[in-house]
Amino acid sequence: IEAGMAIWVSMYQGERMYASPDAPQEIVSQVPTPEIMREGFGRSPGGFTGQEQLFHKWHGYAVIPLGAIGEGVGFVAYLSEPEPE
């Protein structure tokens, strides 16, 4: 964070994302899309990672299912690349 890195965490239930009110809408609505989630879970039901360029920065994300909470529920953690020094 001190290096200009941003961290966001959202929850999902099915294809719906739930994010904190201060989360950038561009991230919540774009990464990952429902299509990316279906494809990712098709390859790796235990979770998957990806990356997307938003705000002229690369953002990595991890999608982790939380079956103990409920069917189709989990979280998505986003991490932006740090600013160059």
pLDDT at residue 4 tops 70:
no
User: 58-66: long-range contacts (C-beta < 8 A, 24 or more apart)?
Assistant: 59/6, 59/27, 59/31, 61/31, 61/32, 63/12, 63/32, 63/37, 65/41
Nearest residue to 52 via CA among 35, 64, 66, 74? 35
Q: What does the pLDDT average to over 41-52?
A: 94
More confident residue, 82 or 67: 67
pLDDT tens by residue, 19-38: 888 887 777 777 788 889 99
Burial label for 78, CB within 10 Å (0-12, 13-18, 19+), is buried
Give the strand pairing for 57-65 and 48-54.
antiparallel
Q: What does the pLDDT average to over 47-69?
A: 88
pLDDT of residue 78: 86
pTM: 0.80
